[in-house]
Amino acid sequence: MQHMLCSDLEGVFVPEIWINVAEKTGIEELRLTTRDISDYNVLMDKRLSILDAHGLTLNDIQAVIAEIEPLPGALEFLDAIRAEHQIIIVSDTFLEFAGPLMEKLKRPTLFCNCLKVADTGRITGYELRQENGKKKTTRALQDLNYRVIAFGDSYNDISMLQTADNAFLFRPPENVVQEFPQIAVAYEYDQLAALIQEAISSCHS
């Protein structure tokens, strides 16, 4: 059986987009992420209402994203993975946000969502590629006879991690570690690489 790696984006390869927006705008409420609120729809509805209240448009968000760089060591880790394995980044972010980040990561395969944007640039809503896309991506790959090795950092990754054949948390907050003690944790890229290699080796043994 062949293996496929599935990874989250924010918190694994790049900083959290919304935290960067919060820091640039001074709007503390935008610091909330799926590390804090497990229901993604609740979180996104809250974010969009905050953007409306402050008159922020897609252009404002994209200006912040253009300045975001990959996390230290992330590109080297991703390059090392791609040299030997296949990987898909499965994210709850949006195509309209991800472009500059994917360029800096040398264009990995990305599964994500789309925004609904008015002519004025106001973000009016969002469209999920599919409900529970991370779990369904994992299941679909398994149906294609791949063994899935998944890693992520937050609540919105848990369904993917619980469905995968091997799963790891990478730099998760302590509340996620406490709630899901059965999932192995790595805090550095070399630790994560070792866990992935061990999972692959056990698959072929």
10 is catalytic: yes
Residue 87 is classified by DSSP as E
C-beta neighbour count of 127 within 10 angstroms: 10
Which residue is catalytic, options 10, 96, 157, 165? 10
Which residue is catalytic, options 8, 96, 157, 165? 8
Write out the binding residues for Mg(2+).
8, 10, 153
127 is catalytic: no
Write out the binding residues for substrate.
16, 47, 91-92, 134, 156
Residue 39 is classified by DSSP as -
Q: In Å, what is the CA distance from 86 to each residue of 2, 7, 115, 138, 142? A: 10, 11, 28, 14, 14
The upper half-sphere exposure of residue 94, i.e. CA atoms within 13 Å in the direction of its Cβ, equals 18
> Across the strands, what pairs with 170?
186
- CB neighbour class for 142 (10 Å; exposed up to 12, middle 13-18, buried from 19): middle
Write out the binding residues.
8, 10, 16, 47, 91-92, 134, 153, 156
Q: Active-site residue numbers?
A: 8, 10
